[in-house]
Amino acid sequence: MRVGIGYDIHRLAPGRRCIIGGIDIPHPSGPQAHSDGDVLLHAFMDALLGAAALGDLGTHFPPQDPAYAGASSRDLLARVGAKVLAAGYRVAALDATVVAEEPRLGPHLAAMRRTIAETLDISVDRVSVKASTRDRLGEIGRGEAIAAIAVALLEERPAR
């Protein structure tokens, strides 16, 4: 078994799409980033890469590389999943918390779990996503940013 931790934070900007967990959430602002800014998928990718000892998200998908400008984090997650499999591991469990005052994420959590599971071709019962706030404290509490922290548990794939 191998474990990895991931974290991501992005400033929220008016007029940006708000994509979290691969779900387009109606909101007047969204994460400002080189890619689509999906903090949840970014945190999961770093956790998966860390658990497999494959480096970090920026190593595999450099933010200065124009090829990743506006990239779909869901597509990148699929690529990370393939790297994890190629390294000899499979996902045993994923768990994350998204921290934001807005948008309210509760109504979207089940869809996020399904989307992540589909993207990684794993059972939805291996994916946990929770939401929390900062009780109006700091940049997240003022609605200026959104963050996510994630943990990935990998197990060695059995030899065929």
Q: Is the pLDDT of residue 138 over 90?
A: no
Q: Helix, strand, coil shares of the chain as percentages rounded to 5?
A: 35, 30, 35
- Matching residue, tokens 């967990």: 21
Mean pLDDT, rounded, for 123-141 = 88
> What is the residue range of 12's domain?
2-156
Q: What is the CATH number of the domain that holds 71?
A: 3.30.1330.50
Residue 32: what pLDDT?
85
Q: Is the pLDDT of residue 134 over 80?
A: no
Q: Is the pLDDT of residue 159 over 80?
A: no
pLDDT mean across residues, the chain: 92
Helix axes 73-86, 109-120, angle to 10 degrees: 50
Q: pLDDT tens digits for 87-104?
A: 999 999 999 999 998 888
Q: pLDDT tens digits for 47-83?
A: 999 999 999 988 998 888 888 887 899 999 999 999 9
Residue 160: what pLDDT?
64
DSSP string, 44-73: HHHHHHHHTT---HHHHS-TT-GGGTT--H
The torsion angle over the Cα atoms of residues 62, 22, 11 and 133, rounded to 10 degrees, is -130
Residue 75: what pLDDT?
94
Q: Which of 62-66, 123-127, 156-160 has the highest mean pLDDT?
A: 123-127
Counted domains in the chain:
1
